[in-house]
Structure 1
Amino acid sequence: MASRHDPAKQGLAGGTVFLAAILLLTASILALLEGISAAANDKLIIVDNDYVYKFSTTSWGWIHIILGIIGIAISFGIFAGRVWARTCGIILACLSIIANFLWLPYYTWWALLLILIDLFAIWALSTWDPYDDVI
């Protein structure tokens, strides 16, 4: 029995992957900028001393810089259609959610925005199935 792909479904899937790559790229660039600002001027960001997950803002800055650089590379892999990039993108978005959750006391609204973008990226990466045949 031959199978065929529904063009409308494939168009939606392609758009979803493009959306995922754009979202991951956006979140990664924002994380990179956040990291640079935290690492460059650690006196700029002030947090209550009683925070359980308190690191120096320079350390947090480097964490965000590393996640941002890796995310940019992975998003280009998604644009190129690499299967490994989808898996790595989901893993990176999960790590970014954790990092931004721990970053909440430093910049609450910024962290929430990045968490939301990461959630949409995970959704977009996990819902696309290029091998879904329509009978």
Structure 2
Amino acid sequence: MATRGAGRMRTGWVGWVYFAAAVLLVIGVIQIVNGVIAFAHSGTVLTPAGTEIRVSYGTIGWSYLITGAVLAATGVGLLSGRTWARVVAVVLAVISVLANIAFFAAYPLWSAVAIVLNAVVIYALVAHGKEMAPR
């Protein structure tokens, strides 16, 4: 039985918050690496039809770097129990659900799995995210 002033008990749902944080952190690092790689590549791209297109990867590189930094910072923020990170993570999960609904016809199995995982993560973050707060 909990006593007054005692620390908050952590439930098994905290594992899903850790899962969300780990996924965000890993994807963020991958995006940052993709951004660095994009800066290293610029020049001509050949289309399947053989047409040459001059491409500058600078904008793509910056978008990957910024997205990666936001994702990684959100993952670290979730691990440290920050409220802003929970809000950003929920927004990102909702965007992921909407994107997977849009591509459901093309990838039904993967979309269904992603939608379910996102729904569980959203629930864990909204209902049990406060359990991650520092004691």
Output the TM-score relative to the length of structure 1: 0.57
Conserved? CA contact 2:43–2:56, under 8 Å: no
Alpha-carbon spacing, 1:27–1:45, altered in 2? closer, same or farther (3 Å): farther
Name stretches of at least 5 consecutive residues in structure 2 with no aligned partner: 1-8, 50-54, 97-110, 131-135
- 1:5-61: per-residue Cα shift (whole Å, max 9, x none)? xx7xx5321100000000000111111111110122224876569xxxxx7422111
- CA deviation after TM superposition for structure 1 residue 121, in Å: 7.1
Output the TM-score relative to the length of structure 2: 0.57
Structure-1 separation of matches of 2:42 and 2:94: 25
Q: Tell me which amino acid in the other structure corresponds to 1:127.
A: Y
2:74 alignment partner in structure 1: 74
Alpha-carbon spacing, 1:127–1:16, altered in 2? closer, same or farther (3 Å): same
Q: Tell me: higher relative CO, structure 1 or 2? Use CA pairs within 8 A at least 6 residues apart.
A: 1
2:63 alignment partner in structure 1: 63
**Corresponding pairs, count:** 103
1:127 alignment partner in structure 2: 123
Structure ID, larger Rg: 2
Structure-2 separation of matches of 1:93 and 1:45: 33
Name stretches of at least 5 consecutive residues in structure 1 with no aligned partner: 1-6, 50-54, 98-114
Q: Which stretch of the first structure deviates more once superposed, 76-85 or 38-47?
A: 38-47
Structure-2 separation of matches of 1:119 and 1:30: 22
Structure-2 separation of matches of 1:43 and 1:89: 35
- Identical pairs, percent: 23
- 1:52-88: per-residue Cα shift (whole Å, max 9, x none)? xxx7422111101001111111111100112221111
Conserved? CA contact 1:28–1:69, under 8 Å: yes
